[in-house]
């Protein structure tokens, strides 16, 4: 029984790292196919090394492009590899173009598909990610839902219950496993900030960064948060955001309490995240990580597919209006920061691998 793990972005590497480690632990027959969706594989080689993961067997090095161009290139490349390797199942995670291409290429040639993190919905069809996750859920054979809420969503869309497995979210496994590595490898003093002495901000989504009004609103909100709480805001700048900062003439601003820094490696970022007083983000994965780490989160979006973080009180939606950004920060900082993570016990990776192995064994019998 052979498994193909298809990934193409760093968040996918992070969330699939527990699955990869379980395959390694059990000495299973599997391989990794990296599409190179966002980064060159040479850059990601360092990432694999940091997380102590085996390198990908295949690298498509697709790079950026329009949604159609990128997805088309990946479809062709993934199909060629699958026809050559003949795996029994393809595992994909999340909602990127890599996930869509990996799932479509597999299902079109009769290979079973397992979707890790199935059933998430923002109900905003203006987000490309929402289209991807819906399409992949409806063509998958095994849907690994992180929570009961995700399972209910899938059943409500007519997906047979016997295809759905509630496993918990691999983000919990990844945070626990990778934070342990980070504490061994990352010198906290080298980051230049003390625990609880700063807010951390991440902004990368197209709908925020490419919209000047929304992006300026976020920047103003971060400045106002510094003024309100007297806390420095660390902002590791995503390449897309850096380009827009230059375009709107905001890159060189100083003295506003927002410190633009170069993107840091994942282990350093995880350490920064775990020690932050508050996180501002438009990232779905960071919402989850902050929740698991016990760090309050203000989400710079009008909606979220991580509804569970709102329900347990770990996260609030602020949108991009500066006053709302500060108001929501004030609201969540006033709360007691104790909640139970809704994403499981950190054993999702082993459950996913167990399900795949038992399902495939049953099919072969």
Block residue for tokens 């496994």: 173
Q: How far is CA 25 from CA 18, 20, 159, 349, in A?
A: 10, 9, 32, 11
Q: What is the DSSP string of 198-245?
A: EEEEE---HHHHS-HHHHHHHHHHHHHHHHHH--EEEEEPPHHHHHHH
pLDDT at residue 254, as a whole number? 56
Give the global pTM.
Answer: 0.85
Strands 232-236 and 198-202 turn out to be parallel
Alpha-carbon span 183 to 268, nearest angstrom: 9
Cα–Cα distance between 271 and 240 in angstroms, integer? 23
Q: d(Cα 275, Cα 292) in Å, to the nearest integer?
A: 13
How many separate helices (H) and strands (E) can be counted in the chain? 15, 13
Does residue 43 sit in the same domain as residue 157? Answer: yes
Examine the domain organization and report whether 228 and 258 are in the same domain: yes
- Give the pLDDT of residue 188: 62
In a domain, 259, yes or no: yes
25 and 162 in a single domain? The answer is yes
Q: Are 32 and 7 in contact (CB under 8 A)?
A: yes
- Please name the residue that has the structure tokens 């060189």: 252
- Does 234 share its domain with 92? no
Regions of the chain with pLDDT less than 70: 38-43, 188-192, 251-255, 363-365
Q: Is residue 107 part of a domain?
A: yes
Dihedral sign of CA atoms 124, 128, 133, 136 in order = positive
Number of domains in the chain: 2
Residue 99: other Cβ atoms inside 10 A: 29
Q: Is 38 designated active site?
A: no
CATH of the domain at 130: 3.40.50.2000
92 falls within a domain: yes
Q: Which of 34, 38, 204, 337 does the annotation list as catalytic?
A: 204
Give the pLDDT confidence of 30-76 residue by residue, as tens digits. Answer: 999 999 886 655 557 778 888 999 999 999 988 778 889 999 999 99
Judge if 108 and 200 occupy the same domain. Answer: no
- The answer to whether residue 244 sits within a structural domain is yes
Residues 178-213 have pLDDT tens digits of 998 888 888 766 666 788 899 999 998 888 888 999
Helix (H) or strand (E) holding 280: strand 278-281
Structural domain that includes position 145:
2-168+347-364
């Amino acid at each position: 029984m052979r498994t193909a793990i298809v990934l193409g972005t760093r968040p996918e590497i992070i969330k699939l790292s527990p699955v990869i480690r379980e395959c390694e632990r059990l000495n299973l027959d599997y391989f990794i196919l990296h599409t190179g969706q966002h980064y060159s594989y040479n850059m990601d080689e360092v990432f694999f090394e940091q997380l102590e993961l085996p390198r990908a067997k295949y690298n498509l090095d697709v790079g950026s492009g329009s949604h159609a161009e990128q997805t088309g290139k990946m479809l062709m490349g993934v199909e060629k590899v699958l026809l050559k390797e003949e795996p029994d199942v393809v595992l994909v995670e999340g909602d990127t173009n890599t996930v869509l291409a990996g799932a479509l290429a597999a299902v079109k040639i009769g290979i079973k598909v397992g979707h890790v993190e199935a059933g998430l919905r923002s109900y905003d069809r203006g987000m490309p990610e929402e289209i991807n996750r819906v399409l992949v859920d409806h063509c998958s054979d095994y849907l690994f839902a992180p929570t009961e809420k995700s399972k209910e969503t899938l059943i409500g869309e007519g997906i047979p219950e016997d295809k759905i497995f509630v496993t918990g979210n691999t983000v919990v496994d990844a945070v626990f496993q990778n934070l342990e590595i980070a504490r061994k490898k990352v010198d906290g003093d080298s980051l230049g900030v003390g625990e609880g002495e700063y807010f951390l901000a991440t902004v990368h989504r197209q709908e925020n960064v490419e919209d000047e009004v929304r992006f300026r609103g976020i920047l103003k909100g971060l400045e106002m948060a510094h003024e309100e709480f007297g806390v420095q805001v660390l902002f590791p700048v995503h390449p897309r955001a850096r380009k827009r900062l230059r375009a709107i003439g905001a890159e060189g601003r100083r003295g506003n309490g927002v410190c633009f820094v170069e993107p840091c490696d994942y282990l350093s970022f995880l350490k920064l995240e775990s020690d932050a007083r508050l996180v501002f983000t438009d990232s779905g994965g960071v919402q989850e990580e902050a929740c698991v780490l016990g760090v309050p989160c203000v989400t710079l979006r009008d909606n979220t597919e991580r509804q569970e973080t709102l329900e347990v009180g770990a996260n609030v939606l602020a949108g991009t209006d500066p006053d709302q950004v500060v108001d929501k920060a004030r609201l969540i900082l006033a709360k007691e920061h104790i909640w139970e993570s809704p994403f499981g016990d950190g054993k999702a990776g082993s459950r996913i691998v167990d399900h795949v192995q038992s399902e495939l064994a049953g099919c072969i019998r």
